[in-house]
Structure 1
Amino acid sequence: MPTITSLGVGSGLDLSGLLDELEKAESVKLEPITEQRASYKAKLSAFGKLENALDSLREAATALDDSETFQALSSQMQGDAVSASADSTAVPGRYQVEVTALAQSQTLASGGFEEAAELGTGELAFSVGEEAFSITLDADNNTLEGLRDAINAEGAGISASIINDGSATPQRLVLTATETGETNQIAISSTNAALQTTFGFDPAAPAAGDMRQTVAAQNAQLSVNGIAITSTSNHVEGALQGVTLDLTATNEGAADTLTLSRDDAAIKGSIEGFVKAYNSLQGTMSNLTSFDVETGAAGELLGNSTLRGVESQLRNAMGDVGEGDYGLLSNMGISLALDGTLEIDDEALDEAIEGNLDSVSAFFVGSEEQGGFAANLETVLGSLLEDGGTLDTATSGIDTSIERLGERYTRMQESIDATVDRYRTQFADLDSLVSQMNSTSSYLTQQFDSLNTQLNQ
């Protein structure tokens, strides 16, 4: 039979259109798989939303399980010479900080050189603080630029640059210690007499060579409540317990005042953050289990046993009774509303924080012998969120189902493709057969017409 390159060309029949319709009919078999896979993916996304909400609650509960949360301090500095930051170990109080000197880095400058002048060859030994290194000058680097680049490449506590002072010999090598303080003084020596004279520098004999000190290394000098303190840095840690001081100027005779006080607003904010995270979780779970009677629209996890289990465990954890003055959240002004969310009585919570903070902390943090409310809740949330936990098990099952549906879809698509290919082959054969029959019919018609013409003559 002749080969048909386009269905229907030989026969005149709409075989291509018919094949398309048959392919569409076969593809309907994929729809249940596609719909089921979309349903599983929607459920997986829903569990993702639930996991995010639980993660936020866990983060808030973890903060309340830390005793430092209830030791938050606020700091206020009056004055422009010092800034301060405090951690939970700082002691509330009022401190006078006077700065008489700022820490500074030592700077050395060489004598002047003409541009591109050669320095000679040999070795220069450098030390600053606990750092030490040597540089060998040779024919490839015995210029100020070469020496500068070699020093900077060491990255060992000295920064080198070249300054043009505008004189007849304008090029000067300038070395600056990268750290402040008297312990970070620069020393330079060489066994080459010429290099020793040009670049050598001994802090004990600063005028022995051409290299001169232009800025002396200096420690910061300050006092806190009249007690003298020396620091190699303007970033002063440890001088005042739990406080870091940053010195920016001197204020001799006009001390800055640092006031440290308990930050009740920050403590309340941590509790409010927990309530907000819990209410957000409740909203998420409500949306995932909702049902609209009028439209029939349902949340992705409506009736889901895993979500019901999560809700049950949370209810039990929220009802834990602690020891001390505050056995329940409601005792400090945090109550459960009818819709399942938490409500804060600001007056009652403020009174608890301001008047009995130790008991508030004990409720959330607990003691060395027994964990508090936050620790118990964090344990429950961990069992839900961690690898191998409730949500991980549920989502792993969904992932497996989606994977199997994908395999089933592939097999079904292959079966459909094979069926369509079979139809295409059969239609091609039919097209060729009908085309041949049409050709034979046309030929016979012509022969009969010719015979009739001859007989009628």
Structure 2
Amino acid sequence: MATISSLGIGSGLDLSGLLDDLEDAEKQKLTPIVAQQQSYKTKLSAFGSLESSLTALRDAATKLSDPETFSAVTSSMTGDAVTATTTGDAVAGRYQVSVSQLAQAQSQASKSFDVESTGDDLGISGKLALSVGSGAVANIDYAEGDSLEDIRDAINAADTGASASIVNDGAGNRLVLTSNATGTDSKITLSGDTEAFGFSTTVEAQDAELTVNGIDITSQSNTVKGALEGVTFDLTSTTSGAETLKVSKDTESMTKAVKAFVTAYNSFQSTSDALTSYDSESDTAGALLGNSTMRTIESRLRSVLGYSDGDGTFSMLSDLGIERQLDGTLEVDDDKLSEAISSDSDAVSQFFAGVDGKSGLSASIDDTMGTILDDGGLLQIATDGIDSTLDRLGDRYTRMQESIDSTVERYRTQFASLDSLVSQMNSTSSYLTQQFDALSAQTNQ
């Protein structure tokens, strides 16, 4: 049987077009599989959005579990001579600060050496013993052939707590030693063969001296810690009079933290509403409408928001001015929340963070979130199930595609045979027609 290279060439029939139509019809068997895949992928994406909103809510609740959130203070300082930074241990109040003396590091300089270059031989030898404060003594050996640069480098390599440098005073070069730390506890001590250098003190070691509310304070450094609980002073200059430090509760940051929690919850509620909505006009439903995992999550969060602390000043969210609305969101009464934080921030902290080993609302939320977000939680179980279903649908799609390809290939073979057969029949028909026409012509003659 003759081979037909292109369907329809031999028969003149549109077999190629017919085969394409049959293939398209066969591929319709894939449509429900693709639709199911898309549906499950949409659910997977929906759970991803849900996880993001829940994680943000968990983070906001964790912020409220930190007692320092409700012990934060803010400070302001008059004048430019002193700056102050505070921690939650600082006590609210007003403090008068005056600075009579800044701390400074001791500096000693050698005599001036008349050398053309700092790398020239000094022509001296000996041993220089150097220490800073109560630190270990370092012995610096120098010999003929050594230069100021060599001795400087040797001192710096010894890491004694003092730095060496070279200063040109116009008449010559001098070796200068400066303590790395300020204060009288960091004086430089030199011994050994020092005569060749002729060191003298050019800057005296000095402690910082200040008063806080009339109390005299001495500090080795211009950064003064511990003089006032929870406050660090940075001294930049002396004062002509007293500067005032005002420390007060940072109620603004406390309020911001509580409102961030409310915002995070409302964001979750908005995400939940979108995923479980139904539009009757367009007959479209949210990706998780009727989903059992979604219903369980909503139920657990509604339950945990009903937390009550019977031992605290504030026992429920509503006591802080946070009320649940009919649409499921939370709304804040700014005045009531501000009053609660201003009057008793410790009690607000107790409500959220707990006290004396007893958990607060934040811990309850975190426990609930653990059953949802952690390994083995509701979301992982749900998404693992979807992943397994998508794997099965992928296998099913592959098998169906292979079946379609096999069916189309069978059609192609059958159509090729048909094309060849019709081609032969057409040839036979033409031959017979010619023979009959010839016979008829002979008969007529």
Q: Same fold (TM over 0.5)?
A: yes
Query: For the Cα contact (< 8 Å) 1:106–1:180, is it kept in 2?
Result: no
Percent identical across equivalent pairs? 51
| Residue range with higher mean Cα deviation, 55-64 or 110-119 | 110-119
1:18 aligns with 2:18: yes
Other structure's SS at 2:91 match: coil
Counterpart position of 1:388: 376
Question: Displacement of 1:239 after TM fit?
Answer: 4.3
Q: Distance in 1 between matches of 2:17 and 2:220?
A: 90
* Residue type of the alignment partner of 2:71: Q
- Does 2:275 align with 1:288? yes
Structure 1's 264 and 3: CA in aligned 2 closer, same or farther, altered over 3 A? same
Q: 1:380: how far off? A: 1.3
Question: 1:146, 1:14 → 2: CA distance?
Answer: 98
**Alignment partners' CA distance in 2, 1:363 and 1:340:** 22
Measured against aligned partners, the alpha-carbon deviations of 1:57-116 in whole angstroms (never above 9, x if no partner) come to 211221222222211111112222333322212222223444532656979999776699
* Corresponding position of 1:77: 77
Q: Write the distance in 1 (CA, Å) between the matches of 2:286 and 2:151.
A: 72
2:36 maps to which residue?
Answer: 36
Aligned positions of 1:195-206 closer than 5 A: none
The SS at the match of 2:278 is: coil
Residue 105 of structure 2 contacts residue 178 of structure 2 at CA under 8 Å; is this kept in 1?
no
Unaligned runs of 5+ in 1: 136-141, 188-201
Q: From the CA coordinates, give the structure whose radius of gyration is larger.
A: 2
Partner of 2:228: 240
Residues 208 and 414 of structure 1, relative CA distance in 2, 3 Å threshold: farther
1:227 maps to which residue? 216
Counterpart of 1:68? 68
- Deviates further, 108-117 or 369-378: 108-117
Give TM-score, length-normalised by structure 1: 0.74
Which residue matches 1:327? 315
Aligned to 1:315: 302
CA drift at 1:158: 9.4
Deviation at 1:180, TM superposition (A): 6.9
Q: What is the rounded CA distance, in whole Å, between the counterparts of 2:155 and 2:439 in structure 1?
A: 115
Deviation at 1:42, TM superposition (A): 1.0
- Cα distance change, pair 206–449 in 1 and its aligned pair in 2 (3 A): farther
Q: Residues 275 and 5 of structure 1: is their aligned pair in 2 closer, same or farther, counting only changes over 3 Å?
A: same
**TM-score (norm. length: structure 2):** 0.76
**Alpha-carbon contact 1:108-1:213 (below 8 Å) kept:** yes
1:160-171 aligned within 5 A: none
TM-superposed deviation, 1:241? 2.5
* Aligned-pair CA distance for 1:245: 3.5
The AA in structure 1 aligned to 2:253 is: A
2:308 counterpart letter in structure 1: V
Match of 2:90 in 1: 90
Quick check: 1:75–1:259 contact (8 Å CA) kept in 2? yes
Return closer, same or farther for 1:73/1:19 CA change in 2, 3 Å cut-off.
Answer: same
Aligned residue identity for 2:31 = E
Q: Is the 8 A contact 2:10 2:419 kept in 1?
A: yes
Secondary structure at 1:43 match in 2: helix
Structure 2 unaligned residues grouped into runs of 5+: 141-145
CA distance in 1, matches of 2:160, 2:226: 26
Q: Residue type of the partner of 1:304? A: N
CA spacing shift, 1:330–1:125, aligned 2, 3 Å: same
Distance 1:132 1:391, change over 3 A: farther
Q: Which residue of 2 aligns with 1:270?
A: 257
Q: Figure out how many residues of one structure are paired with residues of the other and give that number.
A: 433
Question: What is the DSSP-based 3-state SS (H/G/I as helix, E as strand, rest coil) of the residue aligned with 1:343?
Answer: strand
Q: Which amino acid aligns with 1:312?
A: S
Q: Give the superposition deviation at 1:360.
A: 2.4
Residues 276 and 290 of structure 2 are in contact (CA less than 8 Å); yes or no, is this contact kept in structure 1?
Answer: yes
Aligned to 2:248: 261
- Give CA-to-partner distance per residue, 1:294-341, whole Å, 9 cap, x none: 111111111111111112112221112212332222223222222122
CA distance in 1, matches of 2:361, 2:132: 54
1:23-81 deviations in Å (ceiling 9; x for gaps): 22222111111111111111111112222221122112212222222111111122223
Amino acid at match of 2:217: A
1:215 deviates by 8.3
Instruction: Tell me the CA shift for residue 12 of structure 1.
Output: 3.7
